[in-house]
């Protein structure tokens, strides 16, 4: 069994080497029964993130890899990373490690044990903890509620950057994943549900601006309005998609 951990990376040089090595050491300490690899998906970066990854790859060629995408976009980076992967399980986490790595086993084991097809981290289920500004917390909860009403899902947190999916489910929904930015998380969860996937939410420990990163790549107000518009457009598309995924 193989697991690829993809990290979408855009101008993360100040924390990149420290965090990649932190993930590496954590996975080494777990002494997993599965093979794993960490892949940095550098997208639209103007810093030296690629050079940093090249250096680390030389140290650990079997465990660290990277790909470079010229145009920025988290969704674009994830799709590129997962489409070139041959792993059985495709995971991702944000490069700033806002989600504590202590949740890694909880993320992967349900897939290894065939208890779930998609596992998603949540900051809002029982057992979770989130240290963040009240404005961002309110916006995230409002977005989740609005998306539940409009899209008909029952999940508490769509946008947490901590998810893993098995290859079979990803292949079913891949051609319907359209967004190249932050809305891909929503597409991933909703489309997996339509395809009959078993989706498991797990509590995570989440901290805003973990490990010294001072500024998020998300503009809260601008992206919130963008998400609302994308939800409404996505709802129109779902009526056509449902008939394909229902028989997938």
What pLDDT sits at residue 64?
98
Q: Do 194 and 175 form a contact (C-beta atoms < 8 A)? A: no
pLDDT tens, N- to C-terminus, the chain (248 residues) = 999 999 999 999 999 999 999 999 999 999 999 999 999 999 999 999 999 999 999 999 999 999 999 999 999 999 999 999 999 999 999 999 999 999 999 999 999 999 999 999 999 999 999 886 666 777 778 888 999 999 999 999 999 999 999 999 999 999 999 999 999 999 999 999 999 999 999 999 999 765 444 455 455 566 667 888 999 999 999 988 988 886 55
Domain locations in the chain as residue ranges: 2-245
CATH architecture observed for domain 2-245: Alpha-Beta Complex (3.90)
Angle at Cα 208 formed by Cα 207 and Cα 213, nearest 5°?
Answer: 115
What pTM was estimated for this model as a whole? 0.92
* Pairwise CA distance, residues 83 & 87, whole Å: 10
């Amino acid at each position: 069994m193989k697991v690829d951990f993809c990290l979408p990376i855009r101008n993360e040089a100040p924390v990149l080497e420290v965090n990649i090595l932190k993930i590496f050491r954590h996975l080494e300490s777990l002494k997993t029964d599965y093979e794993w690899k960490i892949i940095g998906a550098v997208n639209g970066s103007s810093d030296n993130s690629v050079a940093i990854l090249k250096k680390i790859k030389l140290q650990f060629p079997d465990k660290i890899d990277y790909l470079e995408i010229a145009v920025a976009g988290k969704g674009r980076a994830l799709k590129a990373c997962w489409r070139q992967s041959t792993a059985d399980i495709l995971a991702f986490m944000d490069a700033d490690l806002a989600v504590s790595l202590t949740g890694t086993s909880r993320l992967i084991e349900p897939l290894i044990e065939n208890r779930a097809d998609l596992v998603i981290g949540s900051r809002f289920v029982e057992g979770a903890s989130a240290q963040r500004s009240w404005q961002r917390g309110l916006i995230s909860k409002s977005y989740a509620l609005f998306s539940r009403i409009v899209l008909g899902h029952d999940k508490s947190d769509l946008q947490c950057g901590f998810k893993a999916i098995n290859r079979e489910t990803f292949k079913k929904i891949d051609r319907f994943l359209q967004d190249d930015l932050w809305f891909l998380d929503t597409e991933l969860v909703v489309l997996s549900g339509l395809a009959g996937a078993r989706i498991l939410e797990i509590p995570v420990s989440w901290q805003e601006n973990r490990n010294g990163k001072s500024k998020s790549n998300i503009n809260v107000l601008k992206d919130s309005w963008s998400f609302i518009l994308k939800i409404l457009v996505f709802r129109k598309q779902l009526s056509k998609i449902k008939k394909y995924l229902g028989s997938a």
